[in-house]
């Protein structure tokens, strides 16, 4: 089976069958990653560049590990230590890298739409590793994989997405994916951090009451407050955000049921999520990170060889 798309620019472009194919392929790679020898020759002779114009810990390391586990040749590019810092354009940079016979580009960029622009101008396949406030497709895929692994299903699952919805590419990719896969979604946060018309545009429920959303959901995906993307104050202070919207153990104790706690990282501990919840028995945050490698192996494996 093949993906319906040459690039992985966003979940918006994927079909339900594409998502199912990536998740089932990831299950096979997760099994490989449990073995003493974790490497397979699937992408031998394929060269991949990781082009990071924005900071990353998890995504970058996870892609690099996924590529090495698949036996690909790997190049790493960091904008701040490259000739981009001397003013070289994105297109010039990428065309120079491609002239060294690179097959696949993984890119993170602070500008929404940067990988889509690149896809129109270069022959290589592109994987979006997060573009501005638009999408972070592999995060949504690893989140879905982790939810399915923990609860046994995605269809019919009640997922609360909590926090800075406005600036979160993770939120948008999760909403697209969960809708396509038949989950129910409630988004929660301060009114200033939830885009208007979200209910109409994406068919998700919006509430401003965190306790009510926690009572409703099976899974709470808690998002980072993205201060670096807010050029004006959208809530009074981090302390007040924590008081009103931060997830605390005492809120979970009131539920009378267990819910799964997720966070894409990096966590602002004591802001959107208290440490005892992040480290608690219902948190699958580190499982998400572990699953990211298998999911990215699956995405790269399925995309390799589709370039012109
Ligand atoms: N979840 C995520 O994208 O983390 P990084 O910014 O560390 O890659």
Query: For residue 129, what pLDDT is reported?
Result: 98
Mind listing the pLDDT tens digit for each residue in 251-287? Answer: 999 999 999 999 999 999 999 999 999 999 999 999 9
Cα–ligand 1 centroid distance for 172 (angstroms): 15
Q: Is the dihedral of CA 209, 212, 214, 216 positive or negative?
A: negative
Mean residue pLDDT of the chain comes to 95
Residue range 230-261, pLDDT digits in tens: 766 667 788 999 999 999 999 999 999 999 99
Q: Count the neighbouring beta carbons within 10 Å of the beta carbon of residue 157.
A: 22
Peptide bond into 305 cis (omega under 30): no
Using most ligand atoms within 8 A of CB, pick from 266, 287, 291 the residue to mutate for ligand 1.
Answer: 266
Distance 64 CA to ligand 1 centre (A): 13
Instruction: Report how far residue 164's alpha carbon sits from residue 166's, in angstroms, rounded to the nearest whole number.
Output: 6
| Dihedral angle, C-alpha 82, 86, 92, 97, nearest 10 ° | -20
Query: From atom 3 of ligand 1, which residue's Cα is the shortest distance away?
Result: 59
pLDDT above 70 as % of the chain: 96
Work out the percent of the chain whose per-residue pLDDT is above 90.
Answer: 92
Contacts 24+ apart (CB under 8 A), 274-283: 274/242, 274/246, 274/247, 274/248, 274/249, 276/249, 277/247, 277/248, 277/249, 277/252, 280/249, 280/252, 282/252, 282/258
pLDDT tens string 90-146: 999 999 999 999 999 999 999 999 999 999 999 999 999 999 999 999 999 999 999
* Residue of 50, 51, 59, 263 best suited for mutating to test ligand 1, as the one with most atoms within 8 Å of CB: 59
Which atom of ligand 1 lies nearest, measured to the CA of 54?
Answer: 6
Report CA(44)–ligand 1 centroid distance (Å): 27
- Rounded to a whole number of angstroms, the distance between the first and last alpha carbons of the chain is 19
Ligand 1 centroid to residue 254 C-alpha, Å: 31
* Residue 221 or residue 305, greater confidence: 221
Q: Which two tokens stand for residue 3?
A: 């993906």
**What span, in angstroms and rounded, lies between the C-alpha atoms of 26 and 62?**
13
Q: How confident is the model at residue 308 (pLDDT cuts 50, 70, 90)?
A: very low
From 180, 160, 156, select the one nearest 11 (Cα to Cα): 180
Mutational test site, ligand 1, from 64, 78, 129, 130, max ligand atoms within 8 Å of CB? 130
pLDDT value at residue 307: 38
Ligand 1 centroid vs 87 CA: distance in angstroms? Answer: 26
Q: What's CA 51's distance to the chain center, in Å?
A: 16
Work out the burial of residue 56: count CB atoms within 10 Å of its CB; fewer than 13 is exposed, 13-18 middle, 19 or more buried.
Answer: middle
Encoded tokens for 286 = 């580190």
Ligand 1 atom at minimal distance to the Cα of residue 57: 7
Residues 196 and 96: their CA atoms lie apart, in Å, by: 42
Residue 177 has pLDDT above 90, yes or no: yes
User: Confidence class of residue 305 from pLDDT cuts 50, 70 and 90?
Assistant: low
The answer to whether 245 and 268 have CB atoms below 8 angstroms apart is: no
Under 8 Å between Cβ of 40 and 69: yes
**Separation CA 180–CA 15 (nearest Å):** 8
Q: What is the Cα–Cα distance from 197 to 201, expressed in whole angstroms?
A: 6
Distance from residue 165's CA to the centre of ligand 1 (Å): 16
CA of 32 to the centre of ligand 1 (A): 24
Nearest-atom index, ligand 1, CA of 265: 1
Enumerate residues lining ligand 1, CB below 6 A. Answer: 56-60, 130, 136, 139, 264-266
- Phi, psi (deg, nearest 5) at residue 251: -70, -40
**Residue 235 pLDDT:** 77
Q: pLDDT tens across 43-74, in order?
A: 999 999 999 999 999 999 999 999 999 999 99
Tokens 């969960």, located at residue: 178
What is the 227 CA–ligand 1 centroid distance (Å)? 15
Region of residue 156 (left: phi > 0; alpha: psi -120 to 50; beta: else): left
Atom of ligand 1 nearest to the CA of 136: 3
- 306: confidence class by pLDDT, cuts 50, 70, 90: very low
Query: Above 80 in pLDDT, residue 202?
Result: yes
pTM (whole model) above 0.85: yes
Q: Ligand 1, atom 5: nearest CA belongs to which residue?
A: 56
User: What token pair was written down for 59?
Assistant: 């995504």
- 256 CA from centroid of ligand 1 (Å): 32
Q: How far apart are the CA of 95 and the centre of ligand 1, in A?
A: 26
Ligand 1: which atom is nearest the Cα of residue 130?
3
């Amino acid at each position: 089976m093949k993906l319906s798309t040459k690039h992985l620019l966003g979940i918006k472009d994927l079909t339900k069958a594409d998502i199912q194919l990536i998740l089932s392929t990831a299950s096979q790679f997760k099994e490989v990653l449990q073995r003493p020898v974790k490497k397979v020759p699937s992408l031998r002779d394929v060269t991949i560049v990781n082009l990071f114009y924005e900071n990353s810990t998890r995504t970058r390391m996870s892609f690099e590990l996924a590529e090495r586990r698949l036996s690909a040749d790997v190049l790493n590019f960091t904008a701040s230590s490259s000739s981009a810092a001397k003013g070289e354009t994105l297109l010039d940079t990428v065309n120079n890298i491609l002239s060294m016979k690179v097959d696949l580009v993984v890119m993170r960029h602070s500008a929404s739409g940067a990988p889509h622009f690149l896809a129109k101008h270069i022959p290589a396949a592109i994987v979006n590793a997060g573009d501005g406030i638009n999408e972070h497709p592999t995060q949504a895929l690893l989140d879905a994989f982790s939810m399915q692994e923990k609860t046994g299903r995605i269809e019919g699952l009640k997922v609360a997405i909590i926090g800075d919805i406005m600036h979160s590419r993770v939120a948008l990719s999760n909403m697209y994916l969960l809708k396509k896969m038949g989950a129910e979604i409630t988004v929660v946060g301060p009114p200033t951090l939830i885009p208007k018309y979200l209910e109409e545009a994406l068919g998700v429920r919006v509430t401003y009451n965190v306790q009510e959303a926690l009572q409703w959901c099976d899974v709470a995906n808690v998002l980072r407050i993205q201060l670096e993307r807010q050029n004006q104050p959208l809530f009074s202070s981090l302390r007040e955000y924590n008081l009103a919207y931060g997830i605390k153990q005492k809120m979970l104790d009131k539920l009378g049921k267990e819910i799964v706690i997720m966070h894409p990282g990096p966590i602002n501990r004591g802001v959107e999520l208290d440490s005892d919840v992040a480290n608690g028995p219902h948190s699958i945050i580190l499982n998400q990170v572990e699953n990211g490698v298998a999911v990215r192996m699956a995405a790269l494996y399925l995309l390799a060889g589709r370039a012109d």
